[in-house]
Structure formats: structure tokens, C-alpha cells
Amino acid sequence: MGARIQFVCRSLACHRQVEIEVPTGRAVGDVINLLCICGAEMKKVYSEPVFQELSEAEGILRFGDRVLLKTQGKTAG
């Protein structure tokens, strides 16, 4: 089961909302240019970003040794 994304019609007269499911293995950013049945373009419903702090191990896996240098007060160059 993939991610679910909500879209809303940009037409003030319509303002229809739909929810689609992105198939597993496809990026959420691949979903573009959705049109409502009224013909207007639809846009994604805003959702606040969720931030979380990475542990040192996760930081090394994602960003390499640059994380260690920054945590020690040095800059990666």
C-alpha cells in the first residue's frame, strides 16, 4: 500500500477534494498535473512538515563523515 495524497480543486466554484494512493515504489513527487472533472487544475493540500532529529548513526548513514565534522565544531571542506 502506497502513500495517500489529498488534492483540492483550484476552482472557487467547485473546490472538490480527492485522495489518491501512490503505488509503492513510485515517488510522491511523480504525481503532477491532476485535473478535476470540472476541468480546473488541482493542487496538493498543504500539510506541515514533520522534523525529527537524526541519531549519530543515522546521520553517518545519510550524510557520511560530514556530520561528525560539524558536530565537532569543524566544517567539512
Q: Tens of pLDDT along 5-30?
A: 899 999 999 999 999 887 776 665 66
Q: Say whether 59 sits in a helix, a strand or coil.
A: helix
Alpha-carbon span 59 to 71, nearest angstrom: 11
Alpha-carbon span 11 to 52, nearest angstrom: 35
CA distances, 73 to each of 2, 39, 62, 67 (Å):
40, 54, 19, 10
pLDDT of residue 34: 84
Q: Which of 6, 3, 1, 4 is nearest to 45 (CA)?
A: 6
Query: pTM to 2 decimals?
Result: 0.54
| Strand 4-9, strand 17-21: pairing | antiparallel
